[in-house]
Amino acid sequence: MNFRYLYLLWFLLLSGIIISCKTTHKPSGVSNSKMEEIYQTVKTPYKYGVVFQHPDSTKMMDSPSVFRWNGQWCMTYIIFDGRGYETWLAESDDLIHWTSKGRILSFTDSGWDANQKAGYMALLDTRWAGEYTPAAYNGKYWMSYLGGSVSGYEAGQLGVGIANTTDPGNAVEWQRMPGHVLSANDKDARWFENKTIFKSTVIKDDKRHTGHLFVMYYNAAGDTASYESIGMAVSDDMIHWSRYGKDPVISRYKKGTISGDAQIVQIGNLYVMFYFGAFWNEEGKAFDRFACSYDLIHWTDWSGPDLIRPSEPYDETFAHKPFVIKWKGVVYHFYNAVGKNGRVIALATSAPLK
């Protein structure tokens, strides 16, 4: 047999193996059947109702982050009082009855974030039915926050700040980094985020899917895009952040729409992003959705029913901004409800609560 033919055949077979290996490891979308399985796992058809209203009911509350600390449940939440956002802490024994403990990010007289400090707990245990405790890094516990100097409702050009504390269950002021870590006017700001940046969430990724230890998801708007999308950034020290990718990971790419306020959990080998959508259709409502990923980078959006949508007097306008956990066999879906009770925190569950 011709040795040149054998060599060519061997080369083609080897190339085929290499191509096959690369194809095998290429991230793929999540199948419809798997997406349906996740929906059945996380759905919460039983609306319990309003579980928490700020002591001053005239103020608007928003964006719950729920975690467990020293045998108690804690919730960070944000308050808008006309001047801007501040971040508060609440506590509960049973996930139903909540008591406010006080501020943890307050207004200041000066600084890039003087009038806006809307915080969101970072480095929480993302395991589904896990412990839901925050992880320490460098001996501290961490939070990302929306910051800005202009007073008013999400006024001015906002950015992402980073704060930390040694005891996240204690209602004392967190220590803030001196400046923002991401801003719309950064030189590397992408087309969909060069107008303003809103809520963020930070997780620790021990598998380093992106090549980095920490991953941030945040929603933002660009000056050429009249909608909000969810983008990514990465870090190895919680302080220095860089953008990841050139486009949003979640977006409707449609004028006036919002996709935002991500929360990440891990169910088996799959990552689930809970987030909210708003103004996707003529109804003009806000509702909670989810997407799935095998690598934290490529996301498959759920195309079925909303997880939560307006249906009751207390959430008749908006039912959005999710924080979802599973505890002792029950899925708890906390969300920001806007309706006849004002702007409050409501709860839906996977089973009726007695």
pLDDT at 24: 35
| Nearest of 302, 216, 225, 194 to residue 262 by alpha carbon | 216
Q: How far is CA 32 from CA 28, 29, 292, 299, in A?
A: 12, 9, 11, 13
Q: How far apart are CA 305 and CA 175, in angstroms?
A: 41
pLDDT at 223: 82
Chain centroid to CA 106: 22
pLDDT at 3: 46
| 3-state class (DSSP) for residue 302 | coil
Average pLDDT in the chain: 92
In percent, how much of the chain has pLDDT > 70?
A: 92
Rounded mean pLDDT, 180-187: 95
13 found inside a domain: no
Q: What is the CATH number of the domain that holds 74?
A: 2.115.10.20
Q: What are phi and psi of 278, to 5 degrees?
A: -150, 145
19 found inside a domain: no
90 found inside a domain: yes
Read off the pLDDT of residues 109-160 as tens digits, 9 standing for 90 and up.
Answer: 999 999 999 999 999 999 999 999 999 999 999 999 999 999 999 888 899 9
Q: How far apart are CA 97 and CA 183, in angstroms?
A: 37
pLDDT at 342: 94
pLDDT at 13 over 90: no
Tell me which amino acid residue 18 is.
I
Angle at CA of residue 98, ends 64 and 55, nearest 5°: 85
Token duo for residue 146 = 């929306």
pLDDT at 27: 56
pLDDT at 120: 97
Read off the pLDDT of residues 147-170 as tens digits, 9 standing for 90 and up.
Answer: 999 999 988 889 999 999 999 999
pLDDT at 8 over 60: no
311 found inside a domain: yes
Q: What are phi and psi of 241, to 5 degrees?
A: -120, 145
DSSP code, position 314: G
| Nearest of 49, 161, 76 to residue 112 by alpha carbon | 161
| Nearest of 190, 171, 52, 69 to residue 123 by alpha carbon | 69
The number of folded domains in the chain is 1
314 found inside a domain: yes
For the ranges 23-32, 55-64, 72-81, 290-299, the lowest mean pLDDT is seen at 23-32
Q: How far is CA 84 from CA 30, 90, 130, 146, 182, in A?
A: 40, 19, 34, 11, 19
Helix then strand then coil, in percent of the chain rounded to 5, is 10, 45, 45
Angle at CA of residue 77, ends 74 and 78, nearest 5°: 160
298 found inside a domain: yes
335 found inside a domain: yes
* Residue numbers of the domain that contains 325: 32-349
Read off the pLDDT of residues 15-54 as tens digits, 9 standing for 90 and up.
Answer: 443 333 333 344 569 999 999 999 999 999 999 999 999 9
pLDDT grade, residue 282 (50/70/90)?
Answer: confident
| Nearest of 260, 232, 225 to residue 248 by alpha carbon | 232
Q: How far is CA 35 from CA 45, 167, 326, 344, in A?
A: 17, 37, 18, 30
Rounded mean pLDDT, 75-99: 97
Number of Cβ within a 10 Å radius of residue 135: 13
pLDDT at 26: 44
pLDDT at 354: 73
pLDDT at 335 over 90: yes
Residue 272 contacts residue 290 (beta carbons within 8 Å): yes
- Does the pTM surpass 0.75? The reply is yes
Read off the pLDDT of residues 227-275 as tens digits, 9 standing for 90 and up.
Answer: 999 999 999 999 999 999 999 999 999 999 999 999 999 999 999 999 9
24 found inside a domain: no
